[in-house]
Amino acid sequence: MTDTTRADQSLRRVIGPAALAASIVNIVVGGSIFVLPAVLTRELSTAAPAAYLSGALVMGLVTLAFAEAGRRTVVSGGPYAYVAGAFGRYPGFLAGLLTWLAVVFACAAVAAALVDSLGGVLPWLPGPVARGGAILLLFALLTLVNLRGARAGTRLASATAVAKSAGLLLFVVLAARFVSGDNLVVSWPDDTAGLGRATVLVMFALAGMEVPLCAGGEIRDPGRTVPRALAGAIGFVVVLYVMVHVIAQGVLGPDLAGSRAPLADALAKGGGGRELLLAIGAVSMFGYLAGDMLGASRILFAFGRDALLPRPLASVHPVTGAPHVAVVIHAVAAAGLAMTGSFAVLAPIASVAIIVVYLGCCAAAWVLARRGGEPATAPRLGAAAPLLAIAGLLWVLSHSTRTEFVAVGAVLLAGSALYGLSRRRGAGRGAGA
């Protein structure tokens, strides 16, 4: 534990409540909102907004649990640090591995989608050489920014969070003129089981708060910063998503379920706006990548710090204070996946992987609260939130498919083997686990 503390003390605590909240908004509001209204409508018809409410309820409880764990954990690693602090390094490693794999695959997917979307207006871009070069250039830019330290990374994340939020709010204002009240009449489908599957999709769309929290060693006063940032960010995102969906449904009506680009189609129905939505989508996806680079690289840093992966991953640049090796490795992995396209196999299991991570973090929050005693300043719901969140997550998880469970299980088995190898290597050097 001494090595952990020493490594994190070399980081700079420069992330305050506003910057952390902006980073959370930036990473959560990725590209999913640009297609989510159509997908949810296919599950629940005009009752689709109910899925946002059920997802927000579960995610709200998860947020409270994360706040409980986050304010008791002052080192980097996010879910890895929370679970390791409560249950030990092996469960913590598996939680961190699931988090990093899900995020790096999602990062690769978003990068590929960003370049491919720009190919719609740049005819020369879809070629394999040009596409690969664009992906490399994109990650090189993001790497350079993050190598300057957490302050530079959070500034970029904050700027793109403001830009994408403003763009979506602009969509609401522009498209609201074309809303038809008849399209907003709610009718539940005969089979209400679709609510569970739709909630799985909403959970995926709301996931991401765990990524900025991975920079726990660079958060100023975590006990106050983490709860405030989480509450403000998740509340804002839920309201924004509901507004966007209601407007899209009000404009497109029955056509929403069959739309491949619902927001662009909603504006186009009023006479134009596809180019505007393309630009907003590009900013949103770029912002996601910026936030991902900042937070997810800290998982690798934590693994190196605790000797679960090679020690150089825990290296901190003496000038900028950034974990530069971890940043570069994360960028290389994501860029490689984006160029090969093999990342697509993770898409169906990403949501289940994150839900499993959330379950571990909620259990860790409950254990840490009982172990350390409930602070007098903690809200009454704080102690019960982890247990309520676990119940909600299990309900959501029950609507996942067998294939998704098998895929997550394979990742856990591979992670267990990797952990065993790290233990042997550590034992050979006389290091304890």
**SS3 annotation, 344-384:** HHHHHHHHHHHHHHHHHHHHHHHHHHHHHCCCCCCCHHHHH
Query: In the numeric block, which tokens belong to residue 352?
Result: 């289940």
What's the confidence (pLDDT) of residue 31? Answer: 65
| Model confidence pLDDT, tens digit, residues 138-166 | 999 988 887 876 677 667 767 777 777 78
**Residue 431 clears pLDDT 50, i.e. is over it:** no
Tell me which residue of 114, 295, 323, 101 sits closest to 208, measured CA to CA. 295
Q: Give the whole-angstrom CA distance, residue 367 versus residue 72.
A: 11
Q: Give the whole-angstrom CA distance, residue 157 versus residue 253.
A: 34
| For residues 326-351, average pLDDT | 76
Q: Give the whole-angstrom CA distance, residue 2 versus residue 75.
A: 12
Confidence of residue 348 (pLDDT cuts 50, 70, 90): low
What's the confidence (pLDDT) of residue 331? Answer: 92
**Residue 137 clears pLDDT 90, i.e. is over it:** yes
Residue type, 233: A
Query: In the numeric block, which tokens belong to residue 64?
Result: 């409270």
Confidence of residue 214 (pLDDT cuts 50, 70, 90): low
| Model confidence pLDDT, tens digit, residues 240-284 | 899 999 999 999 888 888 887 788 788 887 666 677 777 777 887
Confidence of residue 397 (pLDDT cuts 50, 70, 90): confident
What's the confidence (pLDDT) of residue 365? Answer: 86
| Contact of 131 with 150, CB cutoff 8 Å | no
Q: Across-strand partners of 219?
A: 15
Architecture of domain 2-425 in CATH?
A: Up-down Bundle (1.20)
pTM, two decimals, is: 0.71
What's the confidence (pLDDT) of residue 2? Answer: 47
* DSSP reduced 3-state for 71: coil
Tell me which residue of 268, 33, 139, 107 sits closest to 276, measured CA to CA. 268
Helix or strand run (H / E) with residue 285: helix 274-305
Q: Give the whole-angstrom CA distance, residue 310 versus residue 315.
A: 10
Among 118-122, 234-238, 327-331, 389-393, where is mean pLDDT lowest? 118-122
| Contact of 217 with 76, CB cutoff 8 Å | yes
| For residues 42-63, average pLDDT | 86
| For residues 390-401, average pLDDT | 87
What's the confidence (pLDDT) of residue 8? Answer: 52
Domain boundaries, the chain: 2-425
Other Cβ atoms closer than 10 A to 123: 9
List, as one string, the DSSP characters of 286-343. Answer: HHHHHHHHHHHHHHHHHHHHTTSS-GGGG---TTT---HHHHHHHHHHHHHHHHH-GG
- Direct distance between the N- and C-terminal alpha carbons of the chain, in angstroms, rounded to an integer: 10
Percent of the chain residues topping a pLDDT of 90: 8
Tell me which residue of 366, 360, 370 sits closest to 384, measured CA to CA. 366
Q: Across-strand partners of 15?
A: 219
